[in-house]
Amino acid sequence: MRRPVTEMNRDTKHRTVRCRGTLCLWLWSAACAVLVMTGCGAEPARFSLNLVHLHSQDAPDEKGQVTLSPAARQNIATVLDALYGTPDAPRLPPLPEPEVLNFLEISKLQRAAGPTGRDDPQGGERGLYRKHCIHCHGANGDGAGPTAQYLNPYPRDYRMGLFKFKSTEGTDTPPTHEDLKRVLVEGVPGTAMPSFKVLDDGEIEALVHYVKYLALRGQTERLLVEELAPEVDGRYLDPQNVVEERKIELLETVATLAGTWQAAVASEVPPPPANWEDAASIARGRELFMGKKALCSSCHGDSALGDGNRDIFDDWTKDFMGPTGVNVSSYAPLRLSTWNEDPRKVLLEEFYARGALKVRPLKPRNLRRGVYRGGRRPVDLFRRVRNGILNYMPYAEKADSADAIKGLIDDDVWHVVAYVRSLPYEKITEPSEEIRFQRDLP
């Protein structure tokens, strides 16, 4: 039976009203969502504390449990802000001897910091770090930006002040300005670290200065957590009750740290011997490579394919692996059946929850590719062998003579370099006659 026309009209009208009501509700919800996501509650950019390191101090270790209260943590954050400013407005610590901070220029830091943009069409671009680096290296320079998990190797965490490819001697020595600049300009082949050749020199300079600034800030934070704050649970750092003596002590410590950056110089590289890279030089290099003095083959493998010892972790991972009791020799990621039941895994999970990236063992470089991430010039390779790479590629100790039991003389280092450079053109090396096991290594 057909319904009367008036009734149908009423139904249609009601439906239209309902539709409009629903549409308004949707629009209102969308507007609210936009407001929540954008304007409302938007806070200026802030540095965050190194939660992984803080937790590593909380975790039981040989020193005993050390816990920093929330108030102490807040004090550390406040002191750091007072010393270094914020990501939008960086500043330099007010040291009694400001010349130790000559390696940092505030104008360059200001150019690299803050939001991306430019103030006039002819002026330089600002916010360079946020534009080019932050998505991998993070706002704190923690190497845990949004994209980090997918990158191999992980982006560098600046906050320990440790850098892999540097020309300075010593594990803890900071790199030189030129070292960092070189990595930025040349990039690191085979990794996600690109070459920034498109940037002009002023922009590169600004970024290098900002990287050093983040590194110094991170080192200061570690120092506050490890050495100063635990003494009195950080109370003396309370900005409301500054004890002048403590303040001076703190600034002196920062000055000491800054001094290491200021004093960083490239190590001397002696000229290669006269017969360098001839057959005898390469043969000598091979002998050293396979032998117990240089120990290269223990990690890179007898074939130099990078198939030697895989039980290696970088310093950033070891930093939090240590407190969990997971050390290099006991961590076996491939033996998942036992690993999943290991209580140490739970400890690791605690660090992951605080922003640590998943533990990955390092893969020694396949030297037959002819690709050297720290630079392919002979001088770069010499420094790699002589100075090592932080704590996981051991440095070649200096020896007085070629017959010394330990260490290498400069000429021998050059011979190892000669052999390494010849590897891409050599047939796969015959395994050395001597079979060595990890336990037999010194």
Binding span for other proteins by CB under 8 A among 190-198, 262-270, 283-291, 402-410: 190-198
Per-residue CA distances from 57 to 60, 158, 253 (Å): 8, 19, 20
State which of residues 355, 361, 378, 407 lies at the interface with other proteins (CB under 8 A): 355
Residue in this structure with the two tokens 């200001």, named with its chain if needed:
110
Asked whether the beta carbons of 421 and 286 are under 8 A apart, the reply is no
Least distance CB 204 / other proteins (angstroms): 11
Q: How far apart are the first and last CA of the chain?
A: 99
- Contact status: 438 vs other proteins (CB under 8 A): no
Least distance CB 346 / other proteins (angstroms): 18
Least distance CB 118 / other proteins (angstroms): 6
- Contact status: 5 vs other proteins (CB under 8 A): no
Instruction: For other proteins, give the closer residue by CB, 226 or 307.
Output: 307
Instruction: For other proteins, give the closer residue by CB, 292 or 310.
Output: 310
- Contact status: 148 vs other proteins (CB under 8 A): yes
- Contact status: 44 vs other proteins (CB under 8 A): no
Task: Tell me which long-range contacts 292-295 makes (C-beta under 8 A, separation of at least 24).
Answer: 292/441, 292/442, 293/405, 293/406, 293/407, 293/408, 293/412, 294/385, 294/396, 294/408, 294/412, 294/416, 295/394, 295/441
- Contact status: 150 vs other proteins (CB under 8 A): yes
Instruction: For other proteins, give the closer residue by CB, 134 or 408.
Output: 134
As to burial, measured by CB atoms within 10 angstroms (0-12 exposed, 13-18 middle, 19+ buried), residue 414 is: buried
Asked whether the beta carbons of 155 and 142 are under 8 A apart, the reply is no
- Contact status: 190 vs other proteins (CB under 8 A): yes
Report the site for other proteins in 96-135 (rule: CB under 8 A): 115-122, 125, 127, 130-132, 134-135
Least distance CB 166 / other proteins (angstroms): 19
- Contact status: 243 vs other proteins (CB under 8 A): no
Report the site for other proteins in 280-319 (rule: CB under 8 A): 306
Instruction: For other proteins, give the closer residue by CB, 134 or 347.
Output: 134
Least distance CB 117 / other proteins (angstroms): 3
Task: Tell me which long-range contacts 103-111 makes (C-beta under 8 A, separation of at least 24).
Answer: 103/177, 103/212, 103/258, 103/261, 103/262, 103/264, 104/209, 104/212, 104/213, 104/216, 105/209, 108/205, 108/206, 108/209, 108/210, 109/206, 109/209, 109/210, 109/213, 111/202, 111/203, 111/206
State which of residues 1, 5, 39, 64 lies at the interface with other proteins (CB under 8 A): 39
- Contact status: 180 vs other proteins (CB under 8 A): no
> Judged by CB under 8 A, how many residues of this single chain contact other proteins?
53
State which of residues 84, 158, 163, 196 lies at the interface with other proteins (CB under 8 A): 196
For residue 126, give both structure tokens.
């600002």
User: How many whole angstroms separate alpha carbon 129 and alpha carbon 427?
Assistant: 45
- Contact status: 186 vs other proteins (CB under 8 A): yes
- Contact status: 270 vs other proteins (CB under 8 A): no
For residue 299, give both structure tokens.
């990690």
- Contact status: 34 vs other proteins (CB under 8 A): yes
Least distance CB 389 / other proteins (angstroms): 16
State which of residues 21, 146, 291, 333 lies at the interface with other proteins (CB under 8 A): 146
- Contact status: 187 vs other proteins (CB under 8 A): yes
Instruction: Encode burial over 200-234: b for 16+ CB neighbours within 10 A, e otherwise.
Output: eeebbbbbbbbbbbbbbbbbbbbbbbeebbbeeeb
User: How many whole angstroms separate alpha carbon 190 and alpha carbon 287?
Assistant: 29
Least distance CB 397 / other proteins (angstroms): 29
User: How many whole angstroms separate alpha carbon 98 and alpha carbon 93?
Assistant: 8
Least distance CB 372 / other proteins (angstroms): 9
3-class DSSP assignment, residue 283: helix
Positions touching other proteins (CB under 8 A) are 34, 37-39, 42, 115-122, 125, 127, 130-132, 134-135, 138-139, 144-152, 186-199, 306, 355, 357, 363, 366, 369-371
